[in-house]
Amino acid sequence: LNGGNSNGSTNSYVVSVGGYGFSNINDAIAHADNGEVIALEENFQNNNSLVIANKDITLDLNNHNLIGNGNDGAILAENGKVTLTGEGLVHGTLGADAYSMGVWAHDAHVVINDGLYTNETDGSERGTDLIYASGNSLIEINGGVFEAATPQWTLNVKDADYKAGKANIIVKGGSFKNFDPANCLA
């Protein structure tokens, strides 16, 4: 394991799980048991998506930034449950297909409690969904700040999956820049 006790250690770790530090976030996700909290211990930038698959975990932003390639979402949750909590930033950069999603839930349950969610655009509307649900997915937004590069696509559900009753986004709280989740086309 790449982990070591982060309490009292002089080592710097990207994330911690249960008091143990990991220099590689993917190792931390792989070793985390269902129900565990993975906390960012420093800012993290990734040239790919951070994929969280087949897990039931909480990702605590812990006042840090998570920046990733938005082509498949800075965070891509698949086949599990991911709870995003803590102050910090999740930012989707512009990917090769001009997609810049912050969070993509595919066949997953995502709960967003806190944080700032942003993305960027090349000026087109293609793929600039900030928070996106597809497949059998549910995204619950309890809080957080959402500032999409293309405001009308702050939240979006794949049309066919929504019409089939498979995917949905439920908004219970949060702040949305230039977007009204109760009156939108998403």
pTM attached to this predicted model: 0.92
pLDDT at 3: 47
80 to 38, 76, 119, 153, 165: CA distances (angstroms): 15, 11, 24, 24, 18
144 to 21, 57, 66, 172: CA distances (angstroms): 26, 18, 15, 11
* Tens digit of each residue's pLDDT, the chain (186 residues): 344 444 444 568 999 998 899 999 999 999 999 999 999 999 999 899 999 999 999 999 999 999 999 999 999 999 999 999 999 999 999 988 888 999 999 999 999 999 999 999 888 767 689 999 999 999 999 999 999 999 999 999 999 999 999 999 999 999 999 999 998 877
Considering only CA atoms, which of 99, 110, 118, 122 is closest in space to residue 76? 110
